[in-house]
Amino acid sequence: MKYVLAGSSGFLGKALTRDLVADGHEVIRLVRRTPSQPDEVRWDPAAGQLDPAALVDADVLVNLAGANIGRPWTPTYRKTIRESRVSTTATLAAAAATLDRRPVFITQSGIGGYGKDCGDRTLTEDSELGEGFLADVVRLWEGAADPARAAGCRVASLRTGVVIARDAPAFRLLSLPFRLGFGGRLGSGNQYFPVVSLTDWLRAVRFVAEHDELSGPVNIALPTPVTNQDFTTALAKTLHRPALFPVPSFVLTTLLGEFGWELIGSKRALPTKLLTANFTFTHPTAPQALTASLTNPA
């Protein structure tokens, strides 16, 4: 199939491009600079500019663009987080809506949309979005795809947990304290911590692209929810390091502000739509996902 990919320079974008090309698919990458490769097309999402001709004959559009959320959310950076997601999605959706042949439109989203702390409540795709900055971003982010949806495209929003892979930025940040010998749980450790292996994330993206029954929000997280304490224990065991130094909640919230609350809040998310569509996880548990992360260089 022909994929058009926004956000190809990020970790997930590079991994998805490699995976698709290796399997014989065509990938066109949207870039904001002057193209230097035949598979690149320039666009300017901040200005809403994308020539629809770049999307002709595309089977799938994928938007993975978005600024890193793993840093303090100053008022200026909040705007960057929001606009980097909304403008890219809106620009792609507007272009897709003009095409005679409607592609599948897949946009990354986040489990954080369900709210900062959902306790032990099971979160499926039918659960309502919650309150907080990330929840507001997810509402705008997913809503920016409405023009494509109204024009007849099948639209799916991937509400993804933390992707576990050896070189994934989020995983490197999580594992660094353990590698240095002073890792531990975050806060109480009782909060549910949605994660997924890179292998299963890649497989899920392609599964969604290829299955017409999947649209709207799609949770991508382990089918066996894990608490931060259990994840921490599994991570320490996988790295052969101790987990003796818990990080108090007040330290996280003091250093990271509202983003710290996202780390200590609980989200027991289940990938209900994927499971109903008979998607099978290669790494359904945290220990399996963590073991795979150390053997897969992607």
pLDDT of residue 293: 86
Q: Is the pLDDT at 142 greater than 80, yes or no?
A: yes
User: What is the arithmetic mean of pLDDT over 30-39?
Assistant: 94
Name 36's Cβ contacts closer than 8 Å, sequence gap at least 6.
Answer: none
Question: Could you tell me which residue, 72 or 235, shows the higher pLDDT?
Answer: 235
What is the percent of the chain where pLDDT is above 90? Answer: 82
Helices (H), the chain: 11-22, 75-96, 133-143, 146-150, 169-179, 198-210, 228-239, 249-256, 258-264, 272-276, 286-295
pLDDT of residue 260: 82
Question: Could you tell me which residue, 18 or 294, shows the higher pLDDT?
Answer: 18
CA–CA dist 68, 114 (Å, integer): 19
Which domains, and CATH codes, for the chain? 2-295 (3.40.50.720)
Could you report how far apart the first and last alpha carbons of the chain are, in Å? 23
Q: How many CA atoms lie within 13 A of 129 on its CB side?
A: 19
What is the percent of the chain where pLDDT is above 70? Answer: 99
* Placement of tokens 């390091």 in the chain: 241
* Placement of tokens 């993804």 in the chain: 160
For all residues of the chain together, what is the average pLDDT? 93
User: What is the arithmetic mean of pLDDT over 259-283?
Assistant: 94
List pLDDT tens digits, range 83-118: 999 999 999 999 999 999 999 999 999 999 999 899
User: What is the arithmetic mean of pLDDT over 224-232?
Assistant: 96
List pLDDT tens digits, range 165-175: 998 888 888 88
pTM: 0.94
Q: With contact defined as beta carbons under 8 Å apart, do 80 and 112 qualify?
A: no
Question: Could you tell me which residue, 79 or 257, shows the higher pLDDT?
Answer: 79
